[in-house]
Amino acid sequence: MLLSQLIGERYREKPGDATMASHIFMLRGGYIRQVASGIYTLLPPAKRITAKIEAIIRQEMDAIGGQEVLFPVVMPAELWRESGRYDSIGSELLRMRDRTGHDMLLGMTHEEASVHLARSEATSYTRFPFMIYQIQTKFRDEPRSRGGLIRVREFTMKDAYSFHTSQEDLARYYEICHKAYERIFARVGLPGIVSVKSDTGMMGGKVAHEFMLLSDSGEDSLVICPHCGFSANVEASPVRAAHEERPSRPVRKLETPHCKTIDDLCALLGTTPDRTVKACVFAVEGRRKPVVVFIRGDFEVNEAKLRQRVGADVFPLADSASCPDICFGFIGPVGFSADADVWFDATLEGEKDMVCGANEADLHLSGVDMTPEGLGANWPAGFFDLAKARAGDVCPVCGKPADLRRGIEMGNIFQLGTKYSASMGYTYTDADGKPQTPIMGCYGIGVGRLMAGICEEHHDDYGPVWPISVAPWQIHLCAIGGAKDPAVAEAARQLYGELSARHEVIFDDRNVTAGVAFADADLLGVPVRVIVGRGLGRDGTVEVATRDKSYRENVPLDGVPAAVEAQIARLTAEIG
Amino acid sequence: MLLSQLIGERYREKPGDATMASHIFMLRGGYIRQVASGIYTLLPPAKRITAKIEAIIRQEMDAIGGQEVLFPVVMPAELWRESGRYDSIGSELLRMRDRTGHDMLLGMTHEEASVHLARSEATSYTRFPFMIYQIQTKFRDEPRSRGGLIRVREFTMKDAYSFHTSQEDLARYYEICHKAYERIFARVGLPGIVSVKSDTGMMGGKVAHEFMLLSDSGEDSLVICPHCGFSANVEASPVRAAHEERPSRPVRKLETPHCKTIDDLCALLGTTPDRTVKACVFAVEGRRKPVVVFIRGDFEVNEAKLRQRVGADVFPLADSASCPDICFGFIGPVGFSADADVWFDATLEGEKDMVCGANEADLHLSGVDMTPEGLGANWPAGFFDLAKARAGDVCPVCGKPADLRRGIEMGNIFQLGTKYSASMGYTYTDADGKPQTPIMGCYGIGVGRLMAGICEEHHDDYGPVWPISVAPWQIHLCAIGGAKDPAVAEAARQLYGELSARHEVIFDDRNVTAGVAFADADLLGVPVRVIVGRGLGRDGTVEVATRDKSYRENVPLDGVPAAVEAQIARLTAEIG
């Protein structure tokens, strides 16, 4: 391809609203253009990259027995009413009416469509297990898109759905898919992606993992233990609090006027938050009774965990408008008698001599023990893990200090169970002729986000450094000064023909300065660069270099193809 | 791939609502399943076929300098308001609101998106010409979908847009694209597709061609001249009426009570429709005045031609409710004085001694000549081609009898001109530094419909006969009686490994009867079939045959790969 014909202007200025490297370089390099908030057109370099990513994904999905299908983008509301998601999902699901007045929607994932297909095609146990997948456009009406292709409304996604006759078989295949994901990420140049346990959220199901690219610009917080390898999304990470043994002390009632926060309380009493008990109140979707969570004062409640535990969505309450019998600011576990569901977080287990609210305005208690004696009638049946992991916490597995890192989600896998198959009435006949409900897994990778993630991981100050497996071209050929020196132009043209026969070559045939040519080459990030210029007249050589700066050599003109070949082979081998 | 694992049940019964062969076989063969009216899921065999079609399209688009991009499916209404299509297109454009209340729509074509991209990326004459294309999901809210994938609401389409600095350059590139289309259709196995001149419809522009698969089940009527090669959609075909020279005769007023139709009139007067003048009245969108078209009684008005001529949409009127000064049933060109725009169709030019309405109830005139003398003050400035072509008409080019055939549109190309670039304010700077408006062409192929069209053209009574270039697999391997005869099972398994190394093989590894195996093989339509069965024990041979019945041979087991290779090479060479 001739660079002079490539559609997509490149420019030097930093786009005003972009902060992430991938966003900046993909705008500056002519990869993407915004059409509306979170809706982009992909230009030729981006389309070439995504095509390669898709080919790698396809190979790995086929290798684990995946069968490619294509579900519709536009689906009838009926299907989503069957699963219950038409009503349970909010405004990120884009709904519309067709010309005949039927409720339709734009697919954000395709569990419903996959069950719709499978329930007519696989009705005997002999057909199981199987996995179907597609690579297709999806729409999710995100309230705030950000970071170019990192968080968008319209996106191309590989989504896969597997169907099984037992939980064991799902767990077995889930592992196979986990390994396929590791291969995919390694092949696109992201071997460092970590899989972390995640919250299953609106997808339902019990076990889920996210594949995270560690990056300071990521939106997700991850607990990662450098000692034992444990990793989890903060949303899903168990919390193990460091615990200080203290003797019991007598209970005293303290005047604490206007001390409604843990900070106020600690300032007044000269204590620290880890020696206090905090109460957090939540309304629960569809229920009258609120939930009260008692937790150690230095922790926050993880709403994702609470949602899982309660089995419904929860919303923090800040005052007693909807629960007049709760004394906000002074709630405590001793003598608490309001009409609420009460949970005790595991951070409180075994703590002694704590300060907590006295359930009366402007009063607290000190010397409260989290023991049957200390809590009396309110001693709970159990302590549950409801806290949000913090930097500096110890690893919940090995007990050594864990890291808190930021990450960008590049893919996810879920053990869905029977959420969709049961709600949509999908059964198959087992070996005994009895109807059974299939057990499902689902597996997603966002293609555009993966491209952006590769750029986040592989760039320098001047542009992307695309791994050779996904680069838009393998070779960037420049003719510097070709307009003045016919020998340069002719040599470059010949090389273009020769190299194009075996590789994808972008040929900068323009009459521009070396500065412009190199800046553009940096923005296109092509792995191997061939520069025909002054060296040709000087000593008959051409410069061959790699974008990642690992190699640079002046090569005699007739040695260029071999030198290029060697570098392509080396870079390819490095990806593995 | 093992047939036992293939998702998609096959069945023998004809689906109740299907009449077209492609619809029947693609349902029966497990290629497609309907999700909603005109919305389908593609199953693995169909997905494999469309992937091959897309690869061929991509190669041919790249070969003529196309650059692949990806436009959004969901677009903001603003873009379509700029072009005017947001308001001019009816309910086939699916409109919706996003969560912030913005008007959005689902793309049915992407002229607007292509101009949106090009106007920021190509602003100097030095960037022209260029062509960008995509292969992507589109939605058109068709009032009646039909024929499986022949007419759907959601579909995958290759749409291309070229940009030029002159009409000559567009015309040059249009020819290049026309040839690329011929190659695409030939390569997918449809060399017989004809290109016909077409109406430009809602796309705008002046010159357009449709690529038509001739088929009795087609919705389009085509004029095709077997003598000179002329071809056109009936909508766009000029009409040349056979004309009989007759002497003038005196004008007479005739009592024709209740004779409101040409048939009534001919019956009463004992004449033929070609000796009468018919008047057709139309309302015009956005205008007060109706249009009256005078046309020979044996022809109908072609509304597409009239729309083009009038420059607005037209709707037939059947009574005088909205135009009281027109005497419906007795309208004639002599003395016609109602407030209307009057057009004379070319079929009337030079006709003499005609019967026409007298513009009074129950009265007609005979002996009227279509001459300045005969028509007096109503003698028109010209006669225009507004008639609908009929079977038996003569070719408008060579004058010999032309055929009227039915066809299915497989693709189209348009010389758009500046309709979109001008309305959307796209200019580039020419060599003199002056702003100019680019001239556009656009070029579409529906991928799913093309797959269905291939099936229409290539099938027998038992299923599709896929051309090898697009077949879901090249080889269908059956083991007949493998459950009872371990030698058969083992030979088949070995062949599967050997053949899979070089080709795509579907292996029927099930324990089913030969009848079931062959019926399924017919429905999958794979070009080369290898049947391991009784021959193996009898004389050590395996049957190799082709789906199109052009070849069938019993081959020694170790000769199978060579025999298969030879057939694949032959079938591939036949496609060219």
CB distance A441 to A413 below 8 Å: yes
C-alpha to C-alpha distances, B348 to B208, B248, B336, B384, nearest whole angstrom: 28, 14, 16, 10
Alpha-carbon distance B14 to nearest alpha carbon in chain A (angstroms): 17
Element (H, E) at B492: helix B486-500
Residue B149, domain CATH = 3.30.930.10
Q: What is the dihedral of CA A9, A12, A13, A15, to 10 degrees?
A: 50
Distance CA B88, CA A31 (A): 33
Single residue among B426, B456, B486 that ends a domain in this structure: B456
State whether A429 and A347 are in the same domain: no
One domain, residues A39 and A153:
yes
Residues B413 and B481 in one domain: no
- Pick the residue of A5, A74, A144 with the most B CBs within 10 A to test the interface with B by mutation: A74
Helix, strand or coil, per DSSP, at residue A290: coil
Q: Which domain holds residue B570?
A: 473-575
| Residue A136 domain-assigned (yes or no) | yes
Q: Are A102 and B44 a contacting pair at CB < 8 A?
A: no
Distance CA B412, CA B212 (A): 9
In a domain, A196, yes or no: no
Chain B residues in contact with A70 by the CB 8 A cut-off are 41-42, 46-47, 50, 156
Closest CA to B375 of B406, B340, B332, B427: B332
Are residue B171 and residue B105 in the same domain, yes or no?
yes
Do A444 and A508 have their domain in common? no
Q: Which of residues 106-125 of A touch B (CB under 8 A)?
A: 106, 113, 116-118, 120-122
- Please give, rounded to a whole number of angstroms, the shortest distance from the CA of B127 to a CA of chain A: 6
Per-residue pLDDT of chain B (576 residues; tens, 9 = 90+): 999 999 999 999 989 889 999 999 999 999 999 999 999 999 999 999 999 999 999 999 999 999 999 999 999 999 999 999 999 898 899 999 999 999 999 999 999 999 999 999 999 999 999 999 999 999 999 988 889 999 999 999 999 999 999 999 999 999 999 999 999 999 999 999 999 988 665 445 578 999 999 999 898 889 998 899 888 888 888 888 888 889 999 999 999 998 889 999 999 999 999 999 999 999 998 899 999 999 999 999 999 899 988 988 899 998 888 888 999 999 999 999 999 999 999 999 999 999 999 999 999 999 999 999 999 999 999 999 999 988 778 888 888 888 899 999 999 999 999 999 999 999 999 999 999 999 999 999 999 999 999 999 999 999 999 999 999 999 999 999 988 999 999 999 999 999 999 999 999 999 999 999 999 999 999 999 999 999 999 999 999 999 999 999 999 999 999 999 999 999 999 997
In a domain, A211, yes or no: no
Tell whether A29 and A160 lie within a shared domain.
yes
By the 8 A CB rule, do A131 and A161 touch? Answer: yes
Distance of CA A514 to CAs A359, A480, A509, A548, Å?
75, 6, 12, 19
Nearest residue to B409 (alpha-carbon basis) of B356, B440, B445: B445
Which residue in chain A is spatially nearest to B34 when comparing CA positions? A117
CB contact under 8 A, B121 and A9: yes
Could you tell me how many helices (H) and strands (E) chain B has, helices first? 15, 31
Q: Which of A384, A404, A431 is the last residue of a domain?
A: A384
Q: Is residue B467 part of a domain?
A: no
According to the model, what pLDDT value does residue B185 have?
Answer: 98
Q: Is B408 helix (H, G, I), strand (E, B) or coil?
A: strand
Q: Could you give the number of structural domains in chain B?
A: 3
> Is the CB of A35 less than 8 angstroms away from the CB of B113?
yes
At residue A378, what is the residue type? N
Residue A194 amino acid letter: V
* CATH number of the domain bearing residue A345: 3.90.960.10
For helices B447-457 and B21-28, angle between their N-to-C axes, nearest 10 degrees: 100
Question: Do B43 and A121 make contact, defined as CB atoms within 8 angstroms?
Answer: yes
Query: For position B201, what pLDDT does the model report?
Result: 59
Closest-CA distance of chain B to residue A15, Å: 15
The CATH number for B514's domain is 3.40.50.800
Contact between A113 and A157 under an 8 Å Cβ cutoff? The reply is no
Tokens of A186: 């390694």
pLDDT given for residue A570 in this prediction: 97
Same domain, A167 and A275: no
Residue ranges of E strands in A234-290: 252-255, 277-284
Please give the Cα distance from A8 to B130 (Å, whole number). Answer: 12
Q: What is the pLDDT of residue A4?
A: 95
Helix axes A44-63, A167-187, angle to 10 degrees: 140
The verdict on B66 and B138 lying in the same domain is: yes
- The pLDDT profile of chain A, 576 residues, written as one tens digit per residue, is 999 999 999 999 989 889 999 999 999 999 999 999 999 999 999 999 999 999 999 999 999 999 999 999 999 999 999 999 999 898 899 999 999 999 999 999 999 999 999 999 999 999 999 999 999 999 999 988 889 999 999 999 999 999 999 999 999 999 999 999 999 999 999 999 999 988 665 445 578 999 999 999 898 889 999 899 888 888 888 888 888 889 999 999 999 998 889 999 999 999 999 999 999 999 998 899 999 999 999 999 999 899 988 988 899 998 888 888 999 999 999 999 999 999 999 999 999 999 999 999 999 999 999 999 999 999 999 999 999 988 778 888 888 888 899 999 999 999 999 999 999 999 999 999 999 999 999 999 999 999 999 999 999 999 999 999 999 999 999 999 988 999 999 999 999 999 999 999 999 999 999 999 999 999 999 999 999 999 999 999 999 999 999 999 999 999 999 999 999 999 999 997
Rounded Cα gap, residues A548 and A554, in angstroms: 17
Confidence at residue A204, expressed as pLDDT on a 0 to 100 scale: 53
| Together in a domain, A19 and A152 | yes
Cβ B108 vs Cβ B140: under 8 Å: yes
Residues A356, A450 within the same domain:
no
Within-domain flag for B391: no
pLDDT at A507: 98
Q: Which CA distances in Å does B409 have to B382, B444, B462?
A: 33, 11, 25
Chain A hits for B46, CB-CB cut-off 8 Å, are 70
Question: Tens of pLDDT along A205-245?
Answer: 578 999 999 999 898 889 999 899 888 888 888 888 888 88
Which residues in A lie closer than 8 A to residue B106 (C-beta atoms)? 74
Contact B47 A35 (CB under 8 A): no
Q: Rounded to two decimals, what is the model's pTM?
A: 0.88
Within 8 A by CB and 6+ apart from B229, the residues are none
Question: Does the CB of A101 have a partner CB in chain B at under 8 Å?
Answer: no
Question: Domain for residue A8, yes or no?
Answer: no
Judged by CB atoms closer than 8 Å, whether chains meet at B96 and A91 is answered as no
Written as six digits, the tokens of A65 are 């027995």
Q: Is A472 within 8 Å of A503 (Cβ atoms)? A: no
Residue B501 touches chain A, beta carbons under 8 Å:
no
Are A63 and A180 within 8 A, CB to CB?
yes
Q: Is A485 found in the same domain as A440?
A: no
For residue B386, the 8-state DSSP code is -
Q: Do A99 and B91 touch (CB under 8 A)?
A: yes
Q: Judge residue B91's burial from the number of C-beta atoms within 10 Å of its C-beta, 0-12 exposed, 13-18 middle, 19 or more buried.
A: exposed
* Confidence at residue A205, expressed as pLDDT on a 0 to 100 scale: 59
Q: Which of B327, B349, B384 delimits the end of a domain?
A: B384
Domain assignment of residue A404, yes or no: no
Q: Is residue B532 part of a domain?
A: yes
* Of B48, B73, B141, Cβ closest to residue A98: B141
Q: Are residues B226 and B278 in the same domain?
A: no
